[in-house]
Amino acid sequence: MGKRAFDLCVALGVLLVLSPLLAVVAIWIKSDSPGPVLFQQQRVGRHGRPFAILKFRTMRHEAVDEGSKITIGADPRITRAGAFLRRYKIDEFPQFINVLRGEMSVVGPRPEVSHYVALYTPAQRETALSVRPGITDSASLVFKDEAALLAEADDPEAFYVTVVMPAKLEHVAHYVATHSLLGDIKIVWRTARAIATRRKPAREP
């Protein structure tokens, strides 16, 4: 089985099996705060082609375009439903539609906004954009608590650009050089296990 066939099988399977859950999530989002169920944002795809990434909306609709381009800690823009959806990565599920469209793969480098892609070196850009972006990858597992990590930084934006992004790009380079179907299956398994064992952050005193 090739990578594209694997992507189609997984995406179709997830959307069909979880369609009742996704319908409940959509109803919850609509009842929790005004605004659309889905959030769309332009990201940079394979070979630099832009596409609209799909997510369940997790922020107040009127505040989506306010503040930082990155989400930091307990971001006040996040809704009650959104906090739960983000914790268990349920907000990412609509991206299986992006997979069906051919804009993304199940496994691959997470797509960035053009603001950050513009900061890549030519070599980093060539490597990162040589494959379809993915819903999950090894960098997503390493930085699964990225928002909390950024919240601890004095300058979250600078910390992301100088520390987190270069580390992610190292994972991207390794994935592009070594990826295989078996490797993708292992990453999917590790991602599912990480989500299943994820705990709610402890309350501050």
Q: How many alpha carbons fall within 13 Å on the CB side of residue 180?
A: 4
Report, as an integer, the average pLDDT of 106-127.
97
134: enclosing H helix or E strand: strand 134-136
> Are the C-beta atoms of residues 157 and 143 closer than 8 Å to each other?
no
Asked whether residue 202 carries a pLDDT value surpassing 60, the answer given is no
How many Å is the maximal CA-CA distance in the chain?
52
Which amino acid appears at position 162 of this protein? T
In the chain, the percentage of residues whose pLDDT exceeds 70 is 90
Report, as an integer, the average pLDDT of 189-205.
72
> Are the C-beta atoms of residues 110 and 139 closer than 8 Å to each other?
yes
